[in-house]
Amino acid sequence: MNKIAEKESTGFGRRHYRPVYVMHKWWARRLGSVFRTILLYSLADDSFEGWNGKPNSLWEFYSKDVNLSGKVVLDPMMGGGTTVIEALKLGCKVIAGDLNPVSWFLVKKQVEDIDPELIAQTLEKLDDEIGTELRRYYQTTCSECEETAEAIYYFYHKVGSCSKCAKEVPLMRNFFLAKSPMGSSDFVVCPQCWNVFESKNAKNSTTCSKCHQKFIPTEVSFSRGRRFTCSDCGHSEKIVDVARKFGRYRERMYAIEFYCKNCDNSKNKNLVNGRGYKAPDEFDRRTLEKAIEEFQNIGKDLPIPDTLIPLGVETKRALNHGYRKFSDMFSPRQLLNLGKIYRWILGIEDWNVKEFFLLSFSNSLKYNNMFAKYNATRGFITDIFRTHSFSPSMSPVEANCYDTVKGRGAFTAFVNLVIEGKEYCRQPFERVHDGKSMKKVKLQPRKPSKIIEDYQKLVRNADVMLRCGSSEHLEVPDGVVDAVVTDPPYYGNVMYSELSNFFYVWLQIALKDQYAIFKDPLVPAEDEVIENRHQGKGKVEFIHSLTKVFTEANRVLSNDGILVFTFHHKKQEAWGAILRTILDSGFYITATYPVRSEMKASTHLHDLENIVYDMIFVCRKRGKDVVPKSWNSIKKSIKRSIARTITRLQSNGETPSSVDTFAMVLGKCLELYSKHYPMVMDGDKKVSPEVALESIDELLGGL
């Protein structure tokens, strides 16, 4: 499975393999290839041609047009909807839900059908009516030919004031702007005159081509870590302390990346593919001033959220930096043009088309805010959720929010992602290995899925029962589900409600009168299954809530059905919580498998010894009779099993880290312990789950 997952886990692979999953952001979205395989192994049997239940038949069987009609799959915590989409592709009926209205809305639009051409035609109409008006705020002058060019990104730095001498301090960590597209040189910024020019190497001493200042771009710095230092008096202070005292930092534009069609066509060697960097000139500053002036005049009439940012684990940093409302996360130019686009969308008469444009607009927000940063070595913008948090940027980047030939972040590009996603839903495909390379295999087109909220209607003439609310109680009969396949919250890894409020406050403007679940000002978090200190939820609350969900899943699951879920965490207490949940909800673990988890390119995984693998847990209903087992014997089995797993992964080119090995040991411990619980014995004493997990360090020894 990891051979397939490795391909899909790259950033490009996610779009290349399953375009439906890039229609809107969802955090820690698991891989479609993994969940397709989970469903195949969970529901297929010997009656399917080409299937013998053995791993070596997976490659051939994986891409077959398997029809699992008649099978019912439940995902009680659907998140980004991976289980839903993969199960529908296999012909299953699906019951799915989530507490989060943003989750419900994006999964609804992933499932619902529309003619992609209708979206394209509506985008053309939008461009005809307001395209010129929007583009005028993203024009600049080419530094080479002096013709009008298209601004791709605007670079800003925060401005602080020294509390000792009152000098303005640019909060710049260094003056390296970007790597040349050819990789042979670097673009840098002069700290004296703010000239943007090309240098052979930003790590070496360079001389400004304008004021002749000598400096080393990567070493000149006014802010490092959490402090900034005044270049005049040398006074140093904490960045956050100044923000708490004086409010949000001002932002100053200091560079622009542009695309010049004229230079691209003439193949100007000084601009690679027509792209270049420049310092802003008077025209650029005046363009920005005009945008600010217009926003001041009409901003109050635009559909822009006025919602306060609530205190939370991930919002605390934004609040500490003086951001009070979600709208504070955007610049005036962004709010002006986003507001105009949104206003136009609200006027679309066809409600289904309107919702797909709302989805595109919402997804575009992740790039069009002043928390976005620039990847200087790779030359593109990174969105606000490069990590699963709200992290204020000292050097934010403003993208061209409407339409651009180059770069990321434009609204039109996100509409095109939706078009690609719906084309994929109409004509799905898989990418599999034929022994030599990966190949694209078309699947049979699927009829449009019908969404309902009532189980009886699901049985009669629908495909999906989609709910927004707690899954602690489902209006579903006992024993009707063949498999429960889900991806529960990973303890306190991702604060879904806090992060999704960023999208929710915008979506609410359009959807509050249509759907009751969008009436509240923020995402409801009271029943969220999570560990979150600001919600007053710890291990006890997490276990209690998840146990309720799993117990309800046990009730609706058939006696020979299985529960399959993925999990990983670096904290041992999180694994203890999962074990207790499984046991208390009437399940035991029959198998565990390590598979590649979220995108390999995810910045959430970069520069951390983070877990690359999820553990897949396969669970069945617990019987009344449990065979006693010696704890010493179980520990020996755990060590032997993990040694075999690591060897197998290494033979496939995988290199598990120490935390991956830790997760695998924990997973196998949970599996073998749960099979014999509560009759795991140490002599004549029963071994509790807590005692079992305390043996992990011992089990890791020698691996």
Q: pLDDT of 669-684, one tens digit each? A: 888 999 999 999 999 9
Q: In DSSP terms, which residues pair with 223 in a beta bridge? A: 228
Structure tokens belonging to residue 258: 């542009």
| Confidence (pTM) | 0.91
pLDDT in tens, 286-309: 999 999 999 999 999 999 999 999
Q: What is the pLDDT of residue 603?
A: 41
Q: What is the pLDDT of residue 667?
A: 82
CA-based max dimension of the chain: 87
Q: Work out the average pLDDT over 472-501.
A: 93
Do residues 668 and 693 lie in contact, with contact meaning Cβ atoms separated by under 8 Å?
no
Q: What is the pLDDT of residue 10?
A: 64
Within 512-630, residue ranges assigned H as helices are 539-556, 572-584
Q: Phi and psi (nearest 5°) for 265?
A: -65, -35
Do residues 381 and 362 lie in contact, with contact meaning Cβ atoms separated by under 8 Å?
no
With pLDDT > 70 as the criterion, what percentage of the chain qualifies?
93
C-alpha 270/C-alpha 276 separation (Å) is: 8
Do residues 305 and 327 lie in contact, with contact meaning Cβ atoms separated by under 8 Å?
yes
Residue 606 predicted with pLDDT over 70: no
C-alpha 441/C-alpha 136 separation (Å) is: 44
C-alpha 140/C-alpha 466 separation (Å) is: 47
> By C-alpha distance, which of 245, 238, 392 is closest to 317?
392
Q: Which of 49-63, 425-439, 455-469, 539-553 has the lowest mean pLDDT?
A: 49-63
> By C-alpha distance, which of 584, 648, 572, 649 is closest to 613?
649
Confidence of residue 604 (pLDDT cuts 50, 70, 90): very low
More reliable by pLDDT, 437 or 68: 68
Q: Work out the average pLDDT over 244-269.
A: 94
Q: Which residues contact 479 (CB under 8 A, 6 or more apart)?
A: 555, 556, 557, 558, 559
Strands 587-596 and 429-433, by their bridges, are: unpaired
More reliable by pLDDT, 12 or 370: 370
| Ramachandran quadrant class, 252 (left: phi over 0; alpha: psi -120 to 50; beta: rest) | beta
Q: Work out the average pLDDT over 84-103.
A: 96
Q: What is the pLDDT of residue 598?
A: 55
Q: What is the pLDDT of residue 574?
A: 83
More reliable by pLDDT, 334 or 531: 334
Do residues 172 and 222 lie in contact, with contact meaning Cβ atoms separated by under 8 Å?
yes
Do residues 92 and 68 lie in contact, with contact meaning Cβ atoms separated by under 8 Å?
yes
pLDDT in tens, 105-136: 999 999 999 999 999 999 999 999 999 999 99
pLDDT in tens, 618-664: 999 998 788 899 999 999 998 898 888 888 888 877 788 877 787 78
Count, in order, helices (H) and strands (E) of the chain: 23, 29
Integer angstrom CA distances of residue 213 from 171, 191, 193, 205, 233:
20, 8, 8, 10, 20
Architecture of the domain defined by 2-112+420-590+597-623: 3-Layer(aba) Sandwich (3.40)
Give buried/exposed letters for 471-499 (b at 16+ CB in 10 A, else e). Answer: bbebebeeebbbbbbbbbbbbbbbbbbbb
CA 356 to chain centre: 19
Residue type, 469: G
Q: What is the pLDDT of residue 605?
A: 37
pLDDT in tens, 578-595: 899 999 999 999 988 888
Mean pLDDT computed over every residue of the chain: 90
With pLDDT > 90 as the criterion, what percentage of the chain qualifies?
66
> By C-alpha distance, which of 80, 75, 77 is closest to 27?
80
Q: Work out the average pLDDT over 353-367.
A: 98
Q: Phi and psi (nearest 5°) for 305?
A: -65, 145
Query: Where do the structural domains in the chain lie, given as residue ranges?
Result: 2-112+420-590+597-623, 119-173+221-409, 625-703
Strands (DSSP E) found in 361-513: 373-375, 380-382, 397-399, 429-433, 438-442, 451-452, 464-468, 481-486
Q: What is the pLDDT of residue 602?
A: 45
Supply angle C-alpha 82, 86, 90, rounded to 5: 165
Q: What is the pLDDT of residue 94?
A: 97
